[in-house]
Structure 1
Amino acid sequence: MKPNPAIQDRPSPVTAAGARKGAWLTVLDAGARLLQSTSPLKGFDVYVAGLHCAKGDPGMQMEAHHYCKVVNDDLLQCLIFDGNTADANLIGIEYIVSGALFDTLPEEEKDYWHPHNYEVFSGQLSAPGLPQKVETSLMKQLVNSYGKTWHTWHTGTHGAPGMDLPMGDATLMWSFNRDGEADEGLRTGFEQAMGIDSDAKRADRASLLPLAEPQRGVDEMKDDFTGTTPVPGVVDADAPR
């Protein structure tokens, strides 16, 4: 896939531990390109970028650069990196399902899946490099969807780098669901570096609001943040109406 000149570079916030690539790895790389198939990785060409926080740990926040494969209309599989350049580190995975598929899950399983409507309607989630009309069509597919996300490596943020190797248990991630939940420095730094106008995206995606349904998990971390503001289209399925 050719680089898209419209996409801003966002390098990893850390340098991974270990010696620099040696000659034998260089030879291996060349041989792999010529002789080995990369079939399982083909199709991971949908790029979306946003912000994540850990479930139950509101201070653990970071950028999440997703490279996704559309399996079908109800399922996407994503590899998550801490940047979008060649030195980016693989920090996790995310599975995305439609609201219809989510409804078929066992009740105890649903607690692992975070809602996506805030990411869509706040303008926080973007598909860098896509024309706005195409990006809006992609976001339409994500309305009412859910994600199950595990991070295996916390490399930190671009203002405060984290671990230089993946350590400890995998962390279940969650979504932001109100304005003011994401750290303001993290949010503005990310948007400025990526050339994202979230206000313009929010205004454009207002046309999708009639599609929005209440979602499970919107209020899961409500009490972990203060001074937040609700966003139209983002309502907890269990909230009184």
Structure 2
Amino acid sequence: MASSDETPAPMPRSGGGSTEATPGRAMGIGQKMMDKSAQMLQSLKAVRQTQQHVCTFSLYSHDFTRQIETHHYVTRLNQDFLQCPVFDSDSPNARLIGVEYIVSERIFEALPPEEQMLWHSHAFEVHQIGSMDKSPCPWDDTKVELENLVKSYGKFWCTWQVDRGDPLPLGAPCLMMSPRSENFGMMKPELIKIRDAKYGFSREEIKKSRAGIVEPDKTNPQADYWIRAGRGSL
């Protein structure tokens, strides 16, 4: 079985959300009708609580050269805690590749030091990469949300390494990291260009619009452990 530190195979095209390589038979008419009926009759309350769709990037903490576009569907449980199923695209057949939990600075500071080492800070990603809610909303509302997010911390486990070409979720979960300003954590410019062209974003314009968002004076040094260690396992 593939492991999280196995050398990846040539990467397929990213962002397609294709299920062509996923083992299994095509769905028949009967199954489609059953699924549609269930969708209409059941409440599905948990998944219908999703409030935002955020398009950003993530890096494998054990191999910073492996970088992927990720789509986080955000549900807020309270003012200090968010949970996000993460997909490889926003297409109807997108693959669920992991989960991210996001906590406020207040919650993070209360975590044990060994637990804090599994979390990443968001300040650079929000300001410089342009994590972006794809749905239109008033700037004032967006600014408030980003001011909260820039001080938050996330823990993202990837369970399906689609960039490696895995047809199924294989091996142990991988701890993911947020883009950094350091050389080994910097995003590949071509990935940002592809994202911006696809959604009509402009990283430079996003950076300008967020210049007034106040970053924290400093992030907790226990976070972003892999930056100091050069590896993602404890």
Given the two structures, how large is their TM-score scaled by the length of structure 2? 0.82
Q: Secondary structure at the match of 1:208?
A: coil
Query: What are structure 2's unaligned runs of at least 5 residues?
Result: 1-14
Where in structure 2 are the equivalents of 1:81-120 lying within 5 Å? 81-120=87-126
Change (3 A) 1:13 1:132: farther
Write the distance in 2 (CA, Å) between the matches of 1:28 and 1:187.
40
Distance 2:86 2:66 in 1: 16
Q: Alignment length, in residue pairs?
A: 210
AA of the residue aligned to 1:204: S
Alignment partner, residue 167 of structure 1: 170
Alignment of 1:1-241 (within 5 A): 11-12=16-17, 15=20, 16-131=22-137, 133=139, 134-156=141-163, 162-178=165-181, 181-209=186-214, 211-215=215-219, 216=221, 217-218=223-224, 220-221=226-227
Distance 2:204 2:225 in 1: 23
Change (3 A) 1:69 1:21: same
Letter in 2 for 1:205: R
Identity over aligned residues, as a percent? Answer: 29
The alpha-carbon deviation at position 207 of structure 1 amounts to 0.5
Which structure 1 segments of 5+ residues have no match? Answer: 1-9, 225-241
Question: Residue by residue, what CA displacement relative to the aligned partner does 1:23-75 show, whole Å, maximum 9, x if unpaired?
Answer: 33213212212332201112113111100001121122101100010111111
Question: Are the equivalent residues in 2 in contact too, given 1:153–1:165 (CA < 8 A)?
Answer: yes
Q: CA RMSD in A?
A: 2.1
Task: Note if contact 1:52-1:176 (Cα within 8 Å) is conserved in structure 2.
Answer: yes
Letter in 2 for 1:213: D
**Is the Cα contact below 8 Å between 2:105 and 2:151 reproduced in 1?**
yes
Q: In the alignment, residue 136 of structure 2 is paired with which amino acid?
A: L
- Return the alpha-carbon distance in structure 2 between the equivalents of residues 124 and 65 of structure 1: 13
